[in-house]
Amino acid sequence: MTVTRRSGTAAALCTGKTFPVEPEPSPDTDRARQLYRERAGHYDRWVKYLNPLRRRVIGKLQLRDGDHVLDMGSGTGASFEALRAAVGTSGRVTGVELSEEMAAVARKRIDDHGWANVEIIVGDASTAPLPTDVDGVLFFLVHDLTRIPAVVQRAVAAGRPGARVVALGPVSAPRWAVPVNVIGRVIARRYITTFEGFDAPWSHLAVELPGLRVRRILGGGVYLATGSRSDATR
Ligand SMILES: C[S@@+](CC[C@H](N)C(=O)[O-])C[C@H]1O[C@@H](n2cnc3c(N)ncnc32)[C@H](O)[C@@H]1O
């Protein structure tokens, strides 16, 4: 008999026996599209509180005037202002976004600011055409994307040799940090379609970026990974 993760755990706690546990599924792109169709209208209301952290994380990309930066799962474009400030008017910002509705909010942001050097590719990052000349790649709060090996591989391949890659997202905190884990999972469940890889969401990045550095912040429930594309990277 196959039991679900939850009932398996409960049964194991009650009886002391172990039961087979179903593996977490891969990210579900159709569900993500549906999820963000519903979230697009009010996404920015909550995400604005992350702006100081967002700016700090974008600083880790070490962008310079004239650089080209790729924002994977760019959503409503909440990172665009800081990315654009980092690359200047002679640089470029390219967002890749699955949801038409999230991209529509981002497009309005671009139009309202009159940003001529920010563009959005709307599509699934597993297959959408990506640039090949970027100096930095950002994965900000995109667990689903970091758990698709092809997406990580394509994003890293979009970088020139030496391009910086920075990822920030939720992660399982150590077991003893029960409140961090409970709160983290309740929030994450609203924005991701799988908890697959939640113990080490950076694992596919680590394959593509030898020397990736990972540290935990905010009580251990959030990770920050930084790396660079070397010449040897595929
Ligand atoms: C939590 S939001 C983060 C948005 C943005 N990075 C931010 O910092 O606010 C996750 C975004 O990833 C997008 N996404 C999920 N799967 C995707 C895929 N396969 N390709 C492109 N974008 C995807 C979602 O549509 C959503 O806009």
- Give every strand in the sheet of 159-170, ordered side by side: 118-122, 92-97, 68-72, 134-140, 159-170, 222-228, 213-217
pLDDT score recorded for residue 154: 98
The single-letter code of the amino acid at 212 is L
pLDDT tens sequence across 59-112: 999 999 999 999 999 999 999 999 999 999 999 999 999 999 999 999 999 999
Among 83, 82, 202, smallest CA distance to 135 is for 83
pLDDT at 12 over 50: no
pLDDT score recorded for residue 73: 98
Pocket lining: 124 vs ligand 1, CB cutoff 6 Å: yes
Tokens (6 digits) for 163: 């391009």
pLDDT score recorded for residue 1: 31
b/e string for 178-187 if b means 16 or more Cβ within 10 A? eebbeebbee
The partner residues of 139 in beta bridges, in order of sequence, read: 72, 167
Q: Give mean pLDDT, residues 203-228.
A: 96
Pocket lining: 29 vs ligand 1, CB cutoff 6 Å: yes
The partner residues of 168 in beta bridges, in order of sequence, read: 140, 224
Can you tell me which atom of ligand 1 is nearest the CA of 151? 19
Regarding the domain delimited by 29-228, which CATH topology (the fold level of the hierarchy) does it fall under? Answer: Rossmann fold (3.40.50)
pLDDT score recorded for residue 2: 34
pLDDT tens sequence across 111-133: 999 999 999 999 999 999 999 99
Pocket lining: 82 vs ligand 1, CB cutoff 6 Å: no
Indicate the pTM of the whole model. 0.91
